[in-house]
Amino acid sequence: MDQLASVDRLGPELILLAFAGIIVLTDLVVQRRWLVVGSSLLAVAGSLIWAGTLVARDMEGSAFNGLLVVDNFSLFFNFLFAGIAAVVILASIDYSERFSRYQAEYYALILVSAAGMMLLASTVDLIAIFVVLELTSISLYVLVAFLKDVRSSEAGLKYLLLGALSAAVTLYGMAILFGLSGSTSLADIGDVVAAANDDTRAALVMATVFLAAGLGFKMAAVPFQMWVPDVYEGAPTPVTAYLSVGSKAAGFAVVMRIFFEALGDHSISGDWSNMFAAIAAISMSLGNLVAISQSNIKRMLGYSSIAQAGYLLVGLAAISAAEGELSLGGSGVIFFLAAYAFTNLGAFVAVIAISNRINSDDIGDYAGMFRRAPLLALCLTLCLVSLTGIPPTAGFVAKVYIFNAAVQSDLVWLVIVGVLNSVVSAYYYLRVVLQMYLEAPPSEERVSAGPSLGLAMAIASGGVLFIGILPFPLLEVSETAARVFGS
């Protein structure tokens, strides 16, 4: 009976994995694009429904002898990753014509990586975390190189090599924790950390540094961000969108799970809080400053992603020194991830729609886009304004929330850095907007998005506005998810 309950709790991920296998096998017999796309969307819908039933049936608890857990935190990310996968699938329908022979494999890899991301938020054992991390990473390595041209292959190779290095660093940090505790369970490690003395403190600090370095690669935080601009530029644009929100959210989910659950004791949390504060400040500054000089919109959004990782790290650093409150910054990170997912997906969907027609990612070629594609320009403007942090958008509320958490944790200096960086970011975000509205178009030919891209853009843009105007439902859900970690 316990094993059946475990399988039940793993249902959302199992549906995605099962459909991934079915799609590949079916494509060997019946090669129909509508069948592949329909099956992929059906898999995501099934995963969402199953996750919803887990909530309705109050199926929280551990599974498979404590390897993973179903709680409000993991369920939140189940819904988030399924939603991200659905939007990416919709955005890929027209784009995937570029590799029509391998569409089944493409969509199957999206489903497999989405299942891996869900598991990263659920697993509470170091061995399970590492296995799932590699499941997700290998799928993404292949997706990045899917175009098979020079830039895409180069991006895939760089991502693979740096990813392998980050995996080794992560594993080394995990090995130190195992050596100190004699267990791979996060709960057991947390008990050992709480009882640690001065003799083991240096080793614990070293473990946190290695884990932050290895997992910082997934979060695209400085100084582990070197892969971002080249990979974002060379990868298929829907995959770039997927990496910018899915991989980043998965990285922050597993970091929160490990650091809050295993390393959350006040004796060590102050050290990694300061470390994340320093990384946040550097990530925000470097990402925004280098983005200013970019002429390629995918590279610009790549450096923007580094800066956004810095804002998210503010939440990880925001731990009340007096009370050791972990959920304070945790809820800010969760809310920011959801708002950022809508915002960045919307921006990339607009880029896909425009680039598909003009065959260019150069910002200069976006001149006069408002005259050629008013709705596309309007949606892209909304998302860029949200990334800047201007009301009434999701990005504004997310920044206010996460900066408030930092102020409550006596990190006023970090908030000042964040606000100044938001001002700097306005320059390159609004530069694109000015190009679209004020410059003369090089051509009068109309630019339009297909039905699937239009639906994806409507979902993302609607989310940006809804969260910006009525943030309270998501705020409540974020706080509920963060309470899993307590204090």
CA–CA separation, 351 and 287 (whole Å) = 20
Residue 36 backbone phi and psi in degrees, to 5: -65, -50
Tens of pLDDT, residues 92-146: 888 877 877 788 899 999 999 999 999 999 999 999 999 999 999 999 999 998 8
Sign of the torsion formed by the C-alpha atoms of 144, 148, 151 and 153: positive
- Tens digit of pLDDT at every position of the chain (487 positions): 477 878 888 889 999 999 999 999 988 887 777 888 899 999 999 999 999 999 888 888 888 888 889 899 999 999 999 999 999 999 988 887 787 778 889 999 999 999 999 999 999 999 999 999 999 999 999 999 888 888 888 888 888 988 898 999 999 999 999 998 888 888 888 888 888 777 788 888 899 999 998 898 888 888 888 888 888 888 888 998 999 899 999 999 999 999 888 887 777 877 888 899 999 999 999 999 999 988 888 889 989 999 999 999 998 888 744 344 556 678 889 999 999 999 999 999 998 888 878 888 888 888 888 888 888 889 999 999 999 988 889 999 999 999 988 888 888 999 999 999 999 999 999 999 998 888 778 777 787 778 888 899 999 999 999 999 999 999 999 988 888 886 5
Which of 198, 49, 207, 52 shows the shortest CA–CA distance to 126? 207
- The encoded tokens of residue 422 equal 């938001």
Q: How far is CA 93 from CA 12, 23, 98, 263, 449, in A?
A: 23, 15, 10, 43, 11
pLDDT of residue 327: 62
pLDDT of residue 322: 37
Helices and strands (H, E) in the chain, number of each type: 21, 2
- 63, 10 contact by CB (below 8 A): yes
- The encoded tokens of residue 300 equal 């610009």
pLDDT of residue 199: 75
Q: How far is CA 54 from CA 57, 132, 241, 257, 373, in A?
A: 5, 21, 29, 20, 42
Q: At what angle do helices 150-181 and 186-194 cross, to 10 degrees?
A: 50
Residue 63 backbone phi and psi in degrees, to 5: -145, 155
Other residues' Cβ atoms within 10 Å of the Cβ of residue 171: 17
CA–CA separation, 307 and 429 (whole Å) = 13
pLDDT of residue 324: 46
pLDDT of residue 101: 79
Rg (CA), the chain: 21
- 178, 184 contact by CB (below 8 A): yes
Q: How far from chain centre, in Å, is Cα 312?
A: 11
- 73, 326 contact by CB (below 8 A): no
CA–CA separation, 363 and 141 (whole Å) = 27
- Identify whether 223 is preceded by a cis peptide bond (ω within 30 of 0): yes
CA–CA separation, 67 and 97 (whole Å) = 40
